[in-house]
Structure 1
């Protein structure tokens, strides 16, 4: 855990005119890894959250953290659940790396519940469907943001988005792989010869799942914020939808152990119902969902293969090995069985 210089942070906040000027500043480490460290910052009655790259992160994370700030700042004033944009510092001389401050969210993350939903969602299965509908609604609302009007025209390259996917990710895989992945050729060939029915560029999260949202305490379930915008870009929002539901259990009344992941999916609505809610809120058609599901499974397999290849003795990364092969086979199976043409 890296420490931050609270005196320098307080001076910067004072000069930036942020709340709590002159008050003592307390910093409490919340979480962190190789890409980000996160602190709760308290000054008097004011609390916010600081996010920055750790000292050992590669230099390109500096641009990444400023990119994240642009997204959450652009979301202010929209109906997308998000952390409020408080302030940003691009000057690495202050704390050693660029950083930003965002609003503190009084809520909970599914990643912090150790596989058990907090009450009443753990014991009362009738409260769980709202968790899923809120999850779908979050990206549905995100897809409706006018990203050009919000100053994000240069955030991504929507032109040619789908045409680039296969060559980009196959090139990435070729640089890292040292084993064959059954189903790779089938899924890749299918993606080269298929496209979605339409493509309406929009703001997308890039890694949308239960792990990257927060809910407010209590029932009914209400999403408090979408978080962790490292992969955020302007692209195809329906890929976020497919990413979210690509491993959704076929039977949520009795999901298979392999379909449970890091959250208990019993009592959740069906995938079709969740997708229909997304379509209703977003206004986007979802008749081409199978295309996005093949792409999501195929792409996630490649992303996780990188972790597996560098696992060494890391048991968590080694566990990606069979997940990758299962995902790639599933992408190929869907490509061969779907009636989407």
Structure 2
């Protein structure tokens, strides 16, 4: 009887990887689920000699462009030559016949993904501040990468990025919504009516926060979860990081479903994040309000999609009950930011 975690056929992965990268597999794989359902599914696999991480799309209701394995693989492979910390890519499989979905394999990187203030608190305020500073600095480094020089010149279209973001997430909303969401139409109207021209295009991560990074010895050892990365306006990354920082306070009963790490003593507050990013990047952050409004809109759409999949019994792992209750407060926060 198979002991594979849901969504992964370890024998199929091991056989395929052994063919693609000779010497990479020393025996049968054992696997465990690292994260499930809220995003792409992530597994730790080992043959007793090697340790890898495997990523595949979530089960069930999946939007066509939201879980592109080749895209994640491509951007991390390109960033290997830069100062941005990313894992080494091992192999990409786009043949859905292997495990039922595309997937990629990367080296395991040592470090902790801090998602809770309770995890950071024992480190003390000084170390927590240092970690949060380095998270901002890693974002500055990402936005400083010459995307053409690393082979990502065709990775996206910076011109018109913000208008396309609003359009894209409106479509995602339609595809992911199964109920009435009060205030959502007004939030969309406000975003549509005041789209900024946008600044210089950079690589953007698309879901930047502390628990999408690994930390060891107070260093950021890897930035992970690049499924929403593209070329676009860097302030969208900054705004989303700020929105995540506000999440636990905005939705105290359900915000911790995502993260409340920024509530830990010593963690940089909103203004300190903006000041450090502005100083490091040289960018003007005075027009951050619209971007934060967009960030809350995106979070609301993402969580609504997770709520929909959970209601259909298509999420993997625990921690999804009540996630739908967070959508209303996120909409309100988006409206407040737009003012």
Shorter-chain TM band? 0.7 to 0.9
**TM superposition shift of 1:55:** 7.8
Q: Aligned partners of 1:162 and 1:249: how far apart in 2?
A: 22
Residue 119 of structure 2: aligned partner:
117
SS at match of 1:87: strand
What is the aligned counterpart of 1:222 among 194, 219, 222?
A: 219
2:242 is equivalent to residue 248 of structure 1: no
Structure 1 residues without counterparts, runs of 5 or longer: 337-341
CA distance in 1 between counterparts of 2:67 and 2:289 reads 34
Question: Which aligned pairs between 1:151-300 and structure 2 lie closer than 5 A?
Answer: 151-174=151-174, 176=177, 178-182=179-183, 184-185=185-186, 187-196=187-196, 198-216=198-216, 218=217, 221-248=218-245, 258=252, 261=256, 262-264=259-261, 265-267=263-265, 268-300=267-299
Establish whether residue 85 from structure 1 lines up as the match of residue 66 from structure 2: no
Query: Which residue is 2:336 aligned to?
Result: 333
Cα RMSD for the two superposed structures: 3.5
Instruction: Give the TM-score of the pair, scaled to structure 1.
Output: 0.79
SS of structure 1 residue aligned to 2:118:
coil
- Could you tell me which residue of structure 2 aligns to residue 40 of structure 1? 45
Residue 4 (structure 1) aligned to one of 6, 9, 13: 9
* TM-score, length basis structure 2: 0.79
Match of 2:301 in 1: 302
Q: 1:304 to 1:24 in 2, by over 3 A?
A: closer
Deviation at 1:103, TM superposition (A): 1.8
How many residues of Structure 1 are paired with residues of Structure 2 in the alignment? 322
Instruction: Label 1:86 to 1:174 Cα distance change in 2 as closer, same or farther (>3 A).
Output: closer
| 1:73 and 2:77 aligned | yes
For the 8 Å contact 2:63–2:172, the answer to whether it is kept is no
Q: Residue 107 of structure 1 aligns to a residue in which SS? A: coil
Q: 1:243: how far off? A: 0.5
Matches within 5 A, 1:142-157: 142-157=142-157
Deviation at 1:305, TM superposition (A): 2.8
- The structure whose RCO (Cα within 8 Å, separation 6+) is larger is 2
Contact 1:110–1:263, Cα closer than 8 Å, also in 2: no
For the 8 Å contact 2:290–2:337, the answer to whether it is kept is: no
Deviates more, 1:61-70 or 1:80-89: 61-70
What's the CA shift for 1:133? 1.1
- Equivalent-residue separation in structure 1 for 2:246 and 2:67 (angstroms): 37
- CA distance change for structure 1 residues 172 and 85 in 2, over 3 Å: closer, same or farther? closer
Q: Which runs of 5 or more structure 2 residues have no equivalent in the other structure?
A: none
- Equivalent residue for 1:319? 322
| Residues 282-306 of structure 1: CA deviation (Å, up to 9, x unaligned) | 3322121112111111222233233
Deviates more, 1:78-87 or 1:94-103: 94-103
Q: Deviations over 1:253-285 (max 9, x none)?
A: xx7983973334132122111122122223322
